[in-house]
């Protein structure tokens, strides 16, 4: 086909994930393949996608090779020179543009703004991108498939961790980085065996098998792992030597002190600060270190201890859980913690010239947003600052009520305590019906009791949610530091690792 109106190749959708080319027009980059295709074939391929996506399976066939996306220009004679010695991959799980807006607006109306995100993106030297997140079998991804795509550059089905539809098991990113001589680690507020960290070090067909993930965490050479999930890791740890295990914030701090607990060069560390997830920010105990403190430890330990640099994933994992529950205050708490961690990591990255910081989300969740005008909206947002606990905490206190009536009464007391809100009789009736298992909302994605709580608080705060599940929107991505200028403005999640491999000259 001869067509003089050629366009540069930015058509990730058209080529499918394993061929995703990373190219930003006008930016000199080793990733610039110079590949051009005709407008006609671009449109043809794009038009074809719609029909195929509806039919399902289109990306299964395309993603079945199990190989990371090829990058030209890096392979060949000799080892390519790394532009980024260290990579910090900061994830806010389930973090959408709506959550970002809420963070910024909340901080503004409570005179604590602007957010670190806003400060960083208002300054020089930062790149922003939109990222598509679909998985092999679903337009709406889960965290396991999204983490897999980042880690190995290929799409798998929702629920799988680095096990592709053809049952191949490509080497996860952190292990490849280890093979390149780097130190590797994961930090999260979920269980350390949860989907997002696990996708960077484990190959497990079903994400729910967290004990199998825990086995791999212990028996693979991960230098640092901090988070929750003791119940999934303890058994594997029982037979392992040479790993320092810490259980509290104080024990973690002692590793960097001058006392007898001081960490020796090359030692591995596993921190397990809860049997399950680390508590959400609103409910956090003193025993549990925050995300910023864990990240500080991670970059100090991995940075000090390595000749070849490090690759570290940091996850604000509970943003997603709050969004699933339509818990606006809980969401803000963990978003604020994420934002502080971003501020710290950005400062650390900018204090040197050998580190790339990528800030990314695996998918949207809940689609939260302020939807109240004028003073009501401002007052509503401020009210969220008075909320004392997360919805998760409320559910724990509620337990299993004997009758729907008793449950509704308990909830009314808890709502008064946590939100300083006296529920109206008609609201109590809605709670009673929900507890009796009756639908209180036509949209089935909001049948959960927590969605109902979200609506009740939303009537006072002005913050609404569309769904209790993930959303298919594109997500915001930032890059700063070494090599960040080569990030394309549009990126697919399966294209990220080729870019990182190139920048950090990782083994293939
Ligand atoms: Zn989720």
Distance between Cα 21 and ligand 1 center (Å): 28
Give 47-101 pLDDT, tens digit per residue: 333 333 322 222 222 333 334 443 333 333 455 677 999 999 999 999 999 999 9
92 Cβ partners below 8 Å, 6+ apart?
99, 315, 316, 319, 335, 338, 359, 361
Statement: residue 22 has pLDDT above 60:
no
Distance between Cα 321 and ligand 1 center (Å): 6
Distance between Cα 200 and ligand 1 center (Å): 17
User: Own/partner pairs for 111-116, CB < 8 Å, 24+ apart?
Assistant: 115/339, 116/339, 116/340, 116/342, 116/343, 116/346
Distance between Cα 94 and ligand 1 center (Å): 6
Distance between Cα 189 and ligand 1 center (Å): 14
Distance between Cα 317 and ligand 1 center (Å): 9
Distance between Cα 75 and ligand 1 center (Å): 37
Name residues with Cβ closer than 5 Å to ligand 1, which is an ion.
320
Both structure tokens of 319: 């943003």
pLDDT of 80 reads 62
Distance between Cα 470 and ligand 1 center (Å): 6
pLDDT of 67 reads 41
3-state secondary structure 156-189: CCCCCECCCCCCCCCCCHHHHHHHCCCEEEEEEE
* The dihedral formed by the CA atoms of 101, 102, 107 and 111, expressed in degrees to the nearest 10: 90
Give the full edge-to-edge strand order of the sheet including 224-228: 243-246, 268-272, 224-228, 183-191, 310-316, 86-92, 355-360, 475-481, 126-132, 490-492
**Could you tell me what percent of the chain has a pLDDT over 70?**
84
Distance between Cα 353 and ligand 1 center (Å): 35
Distance between Cα 322 and ligand 1 center (Å): 9
Statement: residue 440 has pLDDT above 70:
yes
Distance between Cα 77 and ligand 1 center (Å): 43
Distance between Cα 435 and ligand 1 center (Å): 23
Q: How far apart are CA 223 and CA 208, in angstroms?
A: 24
Distance between Cα 78 and ligand 1 center (Å): 42
Give 114-165 pLDDT, tens digit per residue: 999 999 999 999 999 999 999 999 999 999 999 999 999 999 999 999 999 9
Distance between Cα 256 and ligand 1 center (Å): 34
Distance between Cα 320 and ligand 1 center (Å): 5
- Comparing 373 with 306, the larger pLDDT belongs to 373
pLDDT of 78 reads 53
Please, are residues 153 and 68 in contact by the beta-carbon 8 Å criterion?
yes
Statement: residue 171 has pLDDT above 90:
yes
- Look over the chain and give the mean of its residue pLDDT values, rounded to a whole number: 86
Distance between Cα 141 and ligand 1 center (Å): 9
What is the average pLDDT across 3-12?
Answer: 32
388 Cβ partners below 8 Å, 6+ apart?
282, 417, 418
Give 220-254 pLDDT, tens digit per residue: 999 999 999 999 999 999 888 889 999 999 999 99
Distance between Cα 191 and ligand 1 center (Å): 13
Distance between Cα 324 and ligand 1 center (Å): 6
Size of the chain, expressed as the number of residues it contains: 508
Q: How confident is the model at residue 373 (pLDDT cuts 50, 70, 90)?
A: very high
Both structure tokens of 357: 């910081």
User: Own/partner pairs for 451-456, CB < 8 Å, 24+ apart?
Assistant: 451/325, 451/326, 453/325, 453/326, 453/327, 453/391, 453/394, 453/411, 453/415, 454/325, 454/326, 454/327, 454/328, 454/391, 455/326, 456/415, 456/421, 456/423, 456/427, 456/430
What is the average pLDDT across 165-182?
Answer: 97
pLDDT of 355 reads 97
Distance between Cα 242 and ligand 1 center (Å): 34
- Comparing 439 with 197, the larger pLDDT belongs to 197
Distance between Cα 325 and ligand 1 center (Å): 10
Lowest mean pLDDT among 157-161, 190-194, 442-446: 442-446
User: Taking Cα atoms as reference points, which of 245, 113, 265 lies closest to residue 192?
Assistant: 245
pLDDT of 439 reads 87
Which stretches of 250-378 are assigned E, i.e. beta strand?
A: 268-272, 310-316, 355-360, 364-365, 369-370
Q: How far apart are CA 361 and CA 76, in angstroms?
A: 33
Distance between Cα 143 and ligand 1 center (Å): 6
Distance between Cα 430 and ligand 1 center (Å): 26
Angle, vertex CA 285, rays to CA 279 and CA 286, nearest 5: 140
Alpha-carbon radius of gyration of the chain: 23
User: Taking Cα atoms as reference points, which of 291, 287, 306 lies closest to residue 354?
Assistant: 306
């967290």: which residue's tokens? 210
Instruction: Quote the DSSP letter at residue 204.
Output: B
Statement: residue 489 has pLDDT above 80:
yes
* The dihedral formed by the CA atoms of 294, 295, 300 and 302, expressed in degrees to the nearest 10: 100
Q: How far apart are CA 375 and CA 44, in angstroms?
A: 49
Torsion angles phi and psi, residue 113, rounded to 5: -85, 180
Distance between Cα 272 and ligand 1 center (Å): 21
Distance between Cα 319 and ligand 1 center (Å): 9
Q: How confident is the model at residue 306 (pLDDT cuts 50, 70, 90)?
A: confident
The terminus-to-terminus CA distance of the chain in angstroms comes to: 35
Distance between Cα 267 and ligand 1 center (Å): 33
Distance between Cα 493 and ligand 1 center (Å): 16
Q: How far apart are CA 449 and CA 464, in angstroms?
A: 15
Distance between Cα 27 and ligand 1 center (Å): 35
pLDDT of 239 reads 81
């Amino acid at each position: 086909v001869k067509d003089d109106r050629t366009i540069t190749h930015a058509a990730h959708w058209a080529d499918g994930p394993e061929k995703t080319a990373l190219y930003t027009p006008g930016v000199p980059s080793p990733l610039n393949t110079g590949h051009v295709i005709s407008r006609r074939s671009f449109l043809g391929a794009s038009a074809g996608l719609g029909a195929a996506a509806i039919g399902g399976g289109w990306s299964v066939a395309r993603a079945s090779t199990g190989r990371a996306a090829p990058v030209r220009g890096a392979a060949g004679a000799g080892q390519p020179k790394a532009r980024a010695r260290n990579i910090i991959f900061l994830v806010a799980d389930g973090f959408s543009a709506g959550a970002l807006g809420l963070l910024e607006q909340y901080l503004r109306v409570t005179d604590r703004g602007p957010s670190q995100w806003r400060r960083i993106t208002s300054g020089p030297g930062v790149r922003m991108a939109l990222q598509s997140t679909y998985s092999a079998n679903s337009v709406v991804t889960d965290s396991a498939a999204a983490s897999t795509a980042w880690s190995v550059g290929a799409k798998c089905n929702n629920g799988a961790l680095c096990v592709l539809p053809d049952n191949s098991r490509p080497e996860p990113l952190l292990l490849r980085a280890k093979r390149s001589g780097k130190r590797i680690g994961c930090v999260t507020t979920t269980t350390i065996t949860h989907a997002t960290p696990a996708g960077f070090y484990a190959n497990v067909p079903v994400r729910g098998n967290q004990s199998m993930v825990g086995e791999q965490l212990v028996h693979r050479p991960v230098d640092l792992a901090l988070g929750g999930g003791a119940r999934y890791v303890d058994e594997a740890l029982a037979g392992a030597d040479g790993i320092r295990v810490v259980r509290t914030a104080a024990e973690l701090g002692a590793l960097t002190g001058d006392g007898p607990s001081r960490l020796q060069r090359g030692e591995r560390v596993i921190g397990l600060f809860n049997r399950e997830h680390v508590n959400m920010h609103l409910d956090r105990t003193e025993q549990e270190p925050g995300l910023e403190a864990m990240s500080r430890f991670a970059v100090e330990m991995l940075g000090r201890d390595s000749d070849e640099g490090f690759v570290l994933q940091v996850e604000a994992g509970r943003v997603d859980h709050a969004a699933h529950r339509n818990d606006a205050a809980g969401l803000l708490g963990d978003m604020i913690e994420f934002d502080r961690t971003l501020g710290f990591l950005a400062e650390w990255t900018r204090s040197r010239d050998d580190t790339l910081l990528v800030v990314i989300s695996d998918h949207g969740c809940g689609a939260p947003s302020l939807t109240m005008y004028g003073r009501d909206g401002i007052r509503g947002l401020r009210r969220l600052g008075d909320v004392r606990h997360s919805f998760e905490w409320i559910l724990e206190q509620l337990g299993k009520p004997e009758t729907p009536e008793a449950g509704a009464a308990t909830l009314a007391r808890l709502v008064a305590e946590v939100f300083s809100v006296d529920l109206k009789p008609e609201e109590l009736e809605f709670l009673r019906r929900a507890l009796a298992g009756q639908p209180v909302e036509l949209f089935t994605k909001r049948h959960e009791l927590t969605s109902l709580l979200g609506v009740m608080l939303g009537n006072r705060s002005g913050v609404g949610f569309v769904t209790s599940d993930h959303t298919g929107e594109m997500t915001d991505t930032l890059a700063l530091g070494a090599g960040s200028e080569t990030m394309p403005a549009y990126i697919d999640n399966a294209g990220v690792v080729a870019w990182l491999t190139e920048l950090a000259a990782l083994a293939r």
